[in-house]
Structure 1
Amino acid sequence: MTSLAQGIERIGEMRCGVGESPVWHAAEAALYWTDIPNRTLWRFDPATGRADHWAVPEMAGCMAMTADGGWLLAMETGLFRTARLVPGQPAPAATRVATVAHSHAGMRFNDGRCDRQGRFWAGTMVMDMSLAATDGKLYRFDARTGALDVIRDELITPNGLAFSPDGRTMYVSDSHPARQAVWAYDYDTGTGTPSNPRLFIDMNTYPGRPDGAAVDEEGCYWICGNDAGQVHRFTLDGRLDRSVAVPFAKPAMCAFGGAGLDTLYVTSIRTDDTDPLSGAVVALRPGVRGIAEPVLRD
């Protein structure tokens, strides 16, 4: 890890095209994430500084741990499962568990994660954001039944999925410049049903577009301010509590990790080939702890 200014450390030397979906694997004490356009999964061990990566057959927008030590990957054409990724060994085969029939050409999954009960949520988007196409959908996947259901449609770039510590509030953002909003929903933990949508944050009034997010143990919502080089923390009532500067313009997603879940890892999007930190992953200590990431429930 390389120390940067203001208590921020760079992890590894990799530069991702679009670094997304960081997930802290507590049993391995390692961070995993996906580089979407390069069709690559990454693993970093903070104790040793070792970085490993594996190729995947499609662009993986997000990933979630499974109870057997493997991974669920939301890719271009659907959801896939893979066995445990072992450093120094080839990636195991990915098995499709659900197929998506997109309504527009050039679509893929984007941001996603499991709810506190182990259901997987992920959104789809049209990759050409200049079209501002509202073909994006928010899906819920229940691995016990294999059901993949559309819960919300008419999204452009779904992002910012997160759940409150008690699981009773779900957050979703749309990071497209035409939207720049974060919504909160009441969430029925028994059925996995969101209701009562309301605007939680109008990001048009804050720096950056609302990209990937995480929730800390106090219930505050951390959202990457894409294009602004900041990560914002909002309180439960939608009030901006603080903003943390990161050393790249386009932070993509954040996740809590480390032994005490007191480290915030932030991935980024590579936009400047001359900037060695564009596309990098950094770690910082925000002064609060996060919550362990749920695994997929079978």
Structure 2
Amino acid sequence: MSAAGNPRVERVEAAGQAPARVGESPVWRVAEQALYWVDIPAQKIVRLRLDSGERSEWLLPEKVACIAFDRRGSVLAGCETGLFAVALNEASADAATQAVRGNEPVKVTGRKLAAPVFACADMRFNDGRCDRQGRFWSGTMVQDMAAANPAGALYRFDAHGVLSAPVVDGLITQNGLGWSPDGTTMYLSDSHPSRRKIWAFDYDVETGEPRNRRVFADLNHYVGRPDGAAVDADGCYWICANDAGQLLRFTPHGKLDRQIAVPATKPAMCAFGGRNLDTLFVTSIRPAAGASEHDGHVFAVHPGASGLPEPEFAGEL
């Protein structure tokens, strides 16, 4: 296993900004050359234009855990009560004046697209993204992780606006969604301390059905908990090892071959971006106690691998 030559890890946020409490769902939007991410409990979507350092924030009416874009730039957001369409571009004029108003976030509302029948109270969506064909996938979880309640499930939302029945159930803290470059392998993790597993599935690109679930990597044998993930152009799977301050790369055969330390104890999710898609952006969580100056910030590393453009939602929001 390689330590990846100790690549340099840098903080990328605009100077002076407060850290996120739970930074998640980084998405590099090629059309804007900008990085988006969310702060779940703060109910915010954040955008950073790397070239200028311009930062914009949008405040939603409820917690937002994951986002994807459609071709027009509208956002599909997995929130507390369901999936929402959010038009950030309609607030762009307000966003441009944020600096004048002291960088206050622009308040936006969303249009509810669909909602599952939650198995119990106090649940929300968690990790989510589109497959290579533009179907949106996201899972639910009980917000009180200490309860270790396996009431979570994984859902598919297609271009026709149909939310599936649970495709995978029995999840405590759903995470780690990703697809191989050809789309025929789907990855999923459960990051709860009692699970710490990553699974692979054979994925039918025509029907959007995963089959043949098997353990891809068991982080009980490595470090940390498997949080959010990214797949590079070579088909290797990068996972944030939460609680261990590490990024781990597994080959398509499930062999750990790269390990990179990041300054934050709780890296949460990673995504490839930058002009050549050769930068790995990493969001992080700020612990309630004992946080360092780096926890809750976003980082960039050049790992010597490149990614693929993040798929857009195939429907119209």
Secondary structure in 1 matching 2:19: coil
Aligned residue number for residue 242 of structure 1: 258
Larger mean CA deviation between 89-98 and 206-215 belongs to 89-98
Secondary structure in 2 matching 1:280: coil
Query: How big is the shift at 1:8?
Result: 1.4
1:208-267 Cα shifts (integer Å, max 9, x gaps): 000000000000000000000000000010000111000010000000000100000000
Aligned residue number for residue 85 of structure 2: 81
Cα pair 1:211 1:252 within 8 Å, conserved? yes
Secondary structure in 2 matching 1:72: strand
Aligned residue number for residue 314 of structure 2: 297
Aligned residue number for residue 279 of structure 1: 296
Structure 2: 5+ residue runs without aligned partners?
1-5, 98-105
Instruction: Identify the match of residue 37 of structure 1 among 36, 41, 53.
Output: 41
Query: How big is the shift at 1:148?
Result: 3.4
Distance 1:43 1:273 in 2: 27
Distance 1:28 1:66 in 2: 13
Aligned residue number for residue 7 of structure 1: 8
Among all aligned residue pairs of Structure 1 and Structure 2, give the percentage whose two residues are the same amino acid. Answer: 52
Q: TM-score, normalised by structure 2?
A: 0.90
The one-letter amino acid of 1:280's match is H
Q: Structure 1 stretches (4+) deviating beyond 6 angstroms?
A: none
Query: How big is the shift at 1:91?
Result: 4.8
Query: How big is the shift at 1:112?
Result: 0.7
Instruction: Identify the match of residue 110 of structure 1 among 88, 110, 126.
Output: 126
Aligned residue number for residue 211 of structure 2: 195
The one-letter amino acid of 1:7's match is R
Q: TM-score, normalised by structure 1?
A: 0.96
Query: How big is the shift at 1:22?
Result: 0.2
Q: CA RMSD in A?
A: 1.4
Instruction: Identify the match of residue 229 of structure 1 among 234, 245, 258.
Output: 245
Cα pair 1:224 1:251 within 8 Å, conserved? yes
Cα pair 2:185 2:200 within 8 Å, conserved? yes
Secondary structure in 1 matching 2:212: strand
Distance 1:60 1:195 in 2: 29
Q: Aligned pair 1:171/2:187, yes or no?
A: yes
Aligned residue number for residue 232 of structure 2: 216
Distance 2:263 2:206 in 1: 41
The one-letter amino acid of 1:99's match is A
The alpha-carbon distance between structure 1 residues 182 and 274, as it changes in their structure 2 partners (threshold 3 A), is closer
Instruction: Give the paired residue count.
Output: 294
1:13-58 Cα shifts (integer Å, max 9, x gaps): 3311110000000010000011001101100111011111110111
